[in-house]
Amino acid sequence: MLYHVRMDVRIPSDMDPEVRADLVAREKAYAQEVQSSGRWPHLWRIVGEYANVSIFDVESNDTLHEVLSGLPLFPHMDITVTPLATHLSDINA
């Protein structure tokens, strides 16, 4: 199943810089691991924001929740998920 996911990151401004650096490093490693597995085939930064738009390709809603909640930055994110379906006018469908 494909999902369009928008993630807006809201790290507290008073977070210790070393804690923040560690958190961001762990986030990058986890995100790259999920991308390498094929479950996160597309990741785009939103210009001018600490946010991204992504496409996830996972088996179920529960799997997507598991992947997203595993993100180290998850407690500091506002996430919007939109399930996707094939469009009848898509010539590649």
Structural domains of the chain, ranges and CATH numbers in brackets: 2-84 (3.30.70.1060)
Q: What is the dihedral of CA 14, 16, 22, 23, to 10 degrees?
A: -30
The H-or-E segment that residue 26 falls in is: helix 17-36
pTM for the structure as a whole:
0.92
pLDDT (tens digit per residue) in 65-89: 999 999 999 999 999 999 999 999 9
The mean of the pLDDT values for the chain is 97
**pLDDT reported for residue 92:** 87
Contact at 8 Å (CB) between 91 and 24? no
Confidence of residue 14 (pLDDT cuts 50, 70, 90): very high
pLDDT (tens digit per residue) in 26-48: 999 999 999 999 999 999 999 99
